[in-house]
A and B are shown apart, each in its own frame.
Chain A
Amino acid sequence: MNAARAPIAELDHGAPVRRVAGFMRLLRTNGFRVGLGETRDASVIMASAIGLSPRRLREAFKALCCSTHSDWERFDQLFDSYFLGRGVKRAVRMTGASRDNRKPARRLGEAGSPEKNSPADRIESDAGQSVGSPADGPARRMSASPAEATQAKDLRRIVVPEEVALANALAQRLARSMRARLTRRERVRAKGRRLDLRRTIHSSVAKGGEPLDLVWRRRKPKPLRLVVLLDASGSMEPYTPFFIRFMHGVVDAFREAEAFLFHTRLVHIAAALRDRNVTRAIERLSLMAQGIGGGTRIGESLADFNTWHARRVIHSRTCVMIMSDGFDTGAPGVLAREMRRLRKRCKRIVWLNPMIGWRDYEPSARGMSEALPYVDLFAPAHNLESLAALEPYLARI
């Protein structure tokens, strides 16, 4: 074992415990959730028979210290670099970078709520107010935190890595607050409509079999399910990475969410999005969604969705969210027909169109005008603010 190359300076050859502690510190800086309990247990393992075989030790530490699939996948590299001195520098730095993606999300999530005072009608009024409009800009910037500055920016302009992380965190927090609002509505009230006989009898036992305290039951409402369909065609390209991050947040935070991506065909991406590491999720997606950036056949993609997936993913409390600019290159009439089919199945259809953020935009594209009659909410999605404004609407569904 080559201790000299290990990143912890005060490492001592003769002290396995300190060596373990150093390794735990390395794991912690790489985003693993290990505490003192794990350090103690790792020392126990180190002192056991296994401590002599590096391979076995790695297996054991892996089982102990990992808690998610993404931890599981990068553990070997970290272990090898620390204990065996292999490929040290690159491995450590690479994983360090991915951790930055995760940290801000959590910190932001804890700090206060997002813009609470954004009522539903803001969605409509927001439409005219485009990208960092000068009238709105200065006043905002004086009082606002950096997080807010990103909120008002057009999504296409979010390119700096820090801002990407921030946008991502906001999207995740938004998804979380939606969920929180929704599940709070589910709390069971003290009074219900029907008697819960079983519990009533239980409480009556204490009264000698006389049912004095009645226990009531009430039907539990279903949680809202969100199905997101993202247009990943060429015209949407500037917005696609952002929306994917937003979808990642949604899939991660909603108890029930499904995600699809379409351009000339439809791809089911919820499984790829369940990867907690945003960067890798997006990499996996770009592999799955070959052909991204070409033309759009919204109608055909929706037909696919209606035929194959709708039966499974849509239930009575489903909101379908379509993110598209409505530029359809398919045959005319198909989109309208498929929207009608979709309409019959689900509770609400939300269409988010980044183009509304542009000045003087009118939904004149043929696809858009075909779809509009079936849409419950037609809203802009050119910045985070406009997404945040959706929150009260979704909570009401």
Chain B
Amino acid sequence: MTTDRNTIAARLAEVGYVADRDIATALWLMDLLKRPLLLEGEAGVGKTEVGKALAQIHGCELIRLQCYEGLDQNAALYEWNYQRQLLAIKAREASGEDAARIEAHIFSEDYLLERPLLAAIRRDKAPVLLIDEVDRADEEFEAFLLELLSDFQVTIPELGTVKATTIPRVVLTSNGTRELSDALRRRCLYHYVEFPDVDREARIILARLPHIHHALAHEIARVVHAIRKEELRKVPGVAETLDWAASLLGLNVQHLGDDPETIHATLICLLKTQEDRARVTPEVVARLIDFGHKDASQSLRVAGSV
């Protein structure tokens, strides 16, 4: 079942994901070429959201595997339910059942605990498998993942080989805390997610907070855009923008220029380190808001002259 690119772009808009220009093509290629998609980009640009949106547009389940250091096969692939197995052994001991039969019984599907990777290949309808922050897992796990992604089959010693009933759509995200191997990169399609531009960010705010005033959304997007250009230790992501917009909405702020002190106080939604807080003083905020206005009026004038 291959949906063409424009349908995907249209459905992305339907599910409320405000896409950047070429992500639809990448999502379409995933189906055409049956390759996983690797998303890179700064923290907070909305990489995980792409996986969620993909599940929505195909109307399928999202299976998420959050990676962390020391993630192993037991947590990612499958595990036997030891407690139940032991109980079963004890319960059958008295009945004097044949040892081989007990073994066959306790190593059957009933005692198998599915973890995300195994679950993803045993669904009736192909799910979206989101492998989040793959760079946090160690190299050994990456190698194992590579094997799974090329064969889509898993060998469980006690049970035999489990072949994929459906091939899941795989989305990997990485924050670049560790360099990924070339092999994994080559296996995947690649998309670099940038911070949204002012217009797109405003549309995102409007999509998520339908009650917000149109002009305020644009104002917020412009200021956040300007803040990102400041020399900060932690650049605010899209989620932070939404938090900020929500808090301004809650405080009934109509225009950012109205009450600089309140605005400065609400910046805790955007600036998450003490250092950054100290750097963005009320004066800086005022400058950023002013600058945003000038920018806006300029672009309006340009639009008018054209």
* Interface residues in chain A, defined as those with a beta carbon under 8 Å from any beta carbon in chain B: 33-35, 37-38, 41, 44-45, 48-50, 56, 59-60, 62-64, 66-69, 71-72, 198, 201-202, 205-206, 208-209, 220, 252, 255, 268, 274, 276, 288, 308
- Report the Cα distance A208→B28, complex, angstroms: 51
- B229 at the A interface (CB under 8 A): no
Complex CA distance for A66 and B22, rounded to whole angstroms: 14
Chain B interface bracket (under 10, 10 to 19, 20 to 34, 35 or more): 35 or more
Tell me, yes or no, whether B213 is within 8 Å of chain A by CB. no
A205 in contact with B25 (CB, 8 Å): no
> Chain A nearest CB: distance from B40 CB in Å?
6
Partner of A208, one of B29, B33, B99, B190: B99
* Chain A, residue nearest B233 (CB): A268
Q: Provide 21 A-B residue pairs closer than 8 Å at the C-beta atoms, listed in order of the A residue.
A: A33-B182, A44-B32, A49-B5, A56-B25, A60-B29, A63-B22, A63-B191, A67-B38, A67-B190, A68-B190, A69-B192, A71-B190, A72-B190, A72-B192, A198-B82, A205-B89, A208-B99, A209-B90, A252-B179, A255-B178, A288-B231
Extra inter-chain contacts (7) besides given A59-B21, A63-B25, A209-B93, CB under 8 Å = A44-B32, A45-B33, A56-B25, A60-B25, A63-B191, A252-B179, A268-B233
Q: Which residue of A lies closest to B86 (CB)?
A: A209
Q: Are B185 and A205 in contact (CB under 8 A)?
A: no
Q: Contact check, A59 vs B33: say whether CB atoms are below 8 A apart.
A: no
**Assembled-state Cα–Cα distance A49/B2 (Å):** 12
A202 to B84, CA, bound (A): 11
Complex partner residue of A308 from B22, B28, B178, B275, CB under 8 angstroms: B275
- What is the CA–CA distance of A44 and B82 in the complex, to the nearest angstrom? 48
Interface residues of B in 119-136 (CB under 8 A from A): none
Give the distance to chain A from B142, nearest Cβ to Cβ, in Å: 13
| A50 and B22 alpha carbons, distance in the complex (Å) | 13
Using CB atoms, name the residue of chain B closest to A50: B5
CB distance from B274 to the nearest CB of A (A): 8
CB of A301, distance to nearest CB on chain B (Å): 14
- Name which residue of chain B comes closest to A70, CB basis: B192
Q: A69-B192, A202-B80, A255-B178 are in contact. Are A209 and B89 (CB under 8 A)?
A: yes
B4 within 8 A of A: yes
Q: How far is the CA of A288 from the CA of B5 in the complex (A)?
A: 40
User: In the complex, what's the smallest C-beta–C-beta distance from A106 to chain B, in angstroms?
Assistant: 10
Q: Can you list the 9 inter-chain pairs with the closest CB atoms, starting with the nearest?
A: A67-B185, A59-B22, A59-B25, A63-B26, A72-B192, A209-B89, A66-B190, A63-B189, A201-B82
**Bound-state Cα–Cα, A71 to B29, Å:** 18
Indicate if the CB atoms of B4 and A49 lie closer than 8 Å: yes
- With known contacts A59-B26, A67-B182, A41–B86 Cβ distance under 8 A: no
Partner of B82, one of A38, A63, A205: A205
A59 cross-chain contacts in B, Cβ below 8 A: 21-22, 25-26
Contact of B189 with A64 in the complex, beta carbons under 8 Å:
yes
A274 to B40, CA, bound (A): 13
Is B176 among interface residues, defined by CB-CB distance under 8 A?
yes
Q: List the A residue with the shortest CB-CB distance to B274.
A: A308
B66 located at the interface, meaning its Cβ lies under 8 Å from any Cβ of chain A in the complex: no
Question: Which residues in window 8-31 of B have CB below 8 A to A?
Answer: 21-22, 25-26, 28-29
**What is the distance, in angstroms, from B159's C-beta to the closest C-beta of chain A?**
13
Is B227 in contact with chain A by the CB < 8 A criterion? no
From residue 193 to 214 of chain B, which have CB atoms closer than 8 A to chain A? Answer: none
Do B40 and A69 have beta carbons less than 8 Å apart?
yes
Complex: A333 Cα to B186 Cα, angstroms: 54
Interface pair B70/A64, CB less than 8 Å apart: no
- Given A44-B32, A64-B33, A205-B106, the answer on whether A33 and B186 have CB atoms closer than 8 Å is yes
